Amino acid sequence: MRIMFSAARGRFVLCNSARATAMAATLACAFVASLSGPAAAEQAAAPQPKGADLSADLSDNKSKILVELFTSQGCVSCPPADGFFATLAEDSRVIALSLHVDYWDYIGWEDSFGNSDFTERQKSYARAIGSRTIYTPQFIIDGVERIEGFDPEKTLAALTAKQGAPSPVQLSVSRIGGDLVIRAEADPPLSAPVRLELVRYMPQATVSIERGENAGKTVTYRNIVTSWQTLGDWSGTAPLELTVPAGDAAPAVAIVQDVDAGSGGPGQILAAVSAD
């Protein structure tokens, strides 16, 4: 199973290359470039020269759709969602982050990537909509679209709705020496402060699950979040430049996220970019 963006249908769809001709598979099942043009993804990924000015740096970085998957090695319903998530991780229009929760550890298998901080983040999302229930698997797209359970068609429909959505925030993060330099600018200025976050993740790991509901399964996980750090609040009224230690060579993502007015928890993702 793969994901494509169908220009004719104007949406993300699933395709099965085994049922397509070689030509159709090449055209339909390959991941395609952003609707903004085939050069856009390459331009966004191109390293920025040191000393580039703020406006040039921001203009060359493109925010992507952020997909969070809340999952667990101990959840019997999660492996299909983990496999589907792996296809999203390959799409250049998406930043896909997998957050392993710890609330299924009691049923026989402790998730080797489980983290109570990620459980709390999922609870915060639930509180933001007045819910007291959390699920695995659960996809959250750009902080606002929630899909409980494994529902690929609904997930792809939500991605289609987000494709090309405008944002007032331009964001970039670059590796310069041993640091990460984060720059942000809002046009027009924001009316309320937003949260600046830095995420680090492991690109891939394969786990043989020995006990619990998934005993005997071997699952390859993608884009496994290892830390989710809140750097602070940004007013959004003046350009921001912030330097933080890179720590190591692990992939990193900078996120600007709205703060839910009612709960103070995570709201809409205004921008998300990967470090150069």
Structure tokens at 170: 């331009």
Report the half-sphere exposure of 138 (CA within 13 A, side-chain side): 21
Residue 259 belongs to some domain of the structure: yes
Least Cα distance to 117 among 104, 130, 105, 101 occurs for 101
Query: Which DSSP string corresponds to 217-247?
Result: -EEEEEEEEEEEEEEEEE-SSS-EEEEEE--
SS3 sequence of 123-169: HHHHHHCCCCCCCCCEEEECCCEEEECCCHHHHHHHHHHHCCCCCCE
Beta pairing class for 240-245 and 252-259: unpaired
pLDDT class for 54, splitting at 50, 70, 90? very low
Residue 16 belongs to some domain of the structure: no
Q: Residue 63: what pLDDT?
A: 86
Q: Residue 90: what pLDDT?
A: 95
Residue 42 belongs to some domain of the structure: yes
Residue 2 belongs to some domain of the structure: no
C-alpha–C-alpha distance, residues 12 and 20, integer Å = 17
pLDDT class for 247, splitting at 50, 70, 90? confident
Count of structural domains, the chain: 1
CATH number at 78 reads 3.40.30.10
Task: Kindly report the average pLDDT of the chain as a whole number.
Answer: 82
H helical segments located in the chain: 22-28, 38-45, 54-59, 78-89, 116-128, 152-162
Residue 48 belongs to some domain of the structure: yes
Lowest mean pLDDT among 27-31, 182-186, 192-196: 27-31
Structure tokens at 238: 């003046």
122-137 as b/e: b if 16+ CB within 10 A = bbbbbbbeeeeebebb
Residue 64 belongs to some domain of the structure: yes
Domain containing 176 equals 33-274
Could you give the 3-state DSSP secondary structure of residue 230? strand
Residue 40 belongs to some domain of the structure: yes
Residue 122 belongs to some domain of the structure: yes
